[in-house]
Amino acid sequence: MIRIVHILNQFFAGIGGEDKADIPVGVSEGTIGAARGLQTQLGERGQVVATVYFGDNYFHEHKDDALAALLAAVEKQKPDVVVAGPAFNAGRYGLACAEICQMLSEKLGLRCVTGMEPENPGVGVYRDYHNDKVFLLPTAETASGMARALTAMAPFACRLANGEEIGPAADEGYLPRGIRRLVRTDKSGADRAIEMLLAKIDGKPFTTEIPMEVWDQVEPAAPLADSANANLAVICTGGVVPWGNPDGFKTYRNTFWRKYNFAEVQSLEAGKWEAVHGGYNVAFMNQNPHYGMPLDALRSLEADGRIGRGKLYPAYYVIPGNQGSPAVMRRVGQEIAADLKKDGVEAVLLVAT
């Protein structure tokens, strides 16, 4: 009998909604919440020996503690395979599933399967890891696709537990991770390239052997007609934060943003602010934080009446952008934009790093 641990957030474990998003990692022997549906799909092939759950907020606000607790809980159960999710389009949940699977594969050597909607920001993190022990199956956008998702994840988990060789993503149905393997073919690379070129010229379908990531084409907004009367905010990707890094940003692959109030601050003093970033030498930024968040210049323009209706937006937004996954950065941009629009901000200065 295959031993399976199912990892869920507080909502899909049946603990509660946003009111329970701060609960720490917990363990329930057997099945609760969506794990019951997984057990139904497994039938006699496997057993969900435990359901491990966590609050979405707790995981992202106490990540090190959460990962340590999850590791201990899963290790105790000695599973053959781990199932995380499905997360559908839930961003916090999807990011957690990707990072938890990565950690368990690294620390315990476990094979893991998770599931989420292809636009979930967790997909970008999954692809960034290029981990051949972790597989992500595409799901519907919402939980209405739960039965279909579990129907696909259950047999896939059994195959992983049995040590089966999993073929290419295009054949097996999981989302690709950018892993390339050498295989023998009956045609040389030159022959295959010519066939693709001829197919392209003839307007026939073909599949490239080296797919490239497609970047969003963003239409720029119209320029400000009158900056003096615009409500202006500032976004910083250079990682300038209050000294001590109170929200625990990493030097790379950050998945969340914060905003810090500077309504009563005229300048950023060295020793009170610092840069958290792994993509450049932060020593110069720490000596003069204005290199990354030019509050001194902005206050001068504000005093001259040239920006911000005489008053800048009272907080700036920040995320250290080093090695940021495009999917995560897209989600972060959408969240910040929604927050800015809610407060009536009309223009943004994105400070270059």
Tell me the residue ranges of DSSP E strands in the chain: 2-9, 26-29, 46-54, 81-84, 112-116, 134-138, 232-236, 240-242, 258-261, 273-275, 315-318, 347-351
The single-letter DSSP state of residue 21 is: T
The single-letter DSSP state of residue 20 is: G
Please write the tens of the pLDDT for every residue from 248-271.
998 888 888 999 999 889 999 999
Domain 2-172 is found in CATH 3.40.50.2300 = yes
Q: Is 172 helix (H, G, I), strand (E, B) or coil?
A: helix
pLDDT attached to residue 230 = 82
Please write the tens of the pLDDT for every residue from 32-87.
999 999 999 999 999 999 999 999 999 988 999 999 999 999 999 999 999 999 99
d(CA 134, CA 113): 6
Which own/partner contact pairs does 213-217 have at CB distance under 8 Å and 24+ positions apart?
Answer: 213/326, 215/326, 216/326, 216/330
Contact between 95 and 257 under an 8 Å Cβ cutoff? The reply is no
Contact between 315 and 259 under an 8 Å Cβ cutoff? The reply is yes
Could you give the dihedral angle defined by the CA atoms of residues 68, 73, 75 and 79, in that order, rounded to the nearest 10 degrees?
Answer: -140
pLDDT attached to residue 125 = 87
- Examine the pLDDT at 310 and tell me if it is beyond 60: no
Contact between 97 and 114 under an 8 Å Cβ cutoff? The reply is yes
Alpha carbons within 13 angstroms on the beta-carbon side of residue 206 total 16
Contact between 48 and 39 under an 8 Å Cβ cutoff? The reply is yes
In the chain, where does the domain assigned CATH 3.40.50.2300 lie?
A: 2-172
pLDDT attached to residue 196 = 94
Banded model confidence at residue 309, pLDDT cuts 50, 70, 90:
low
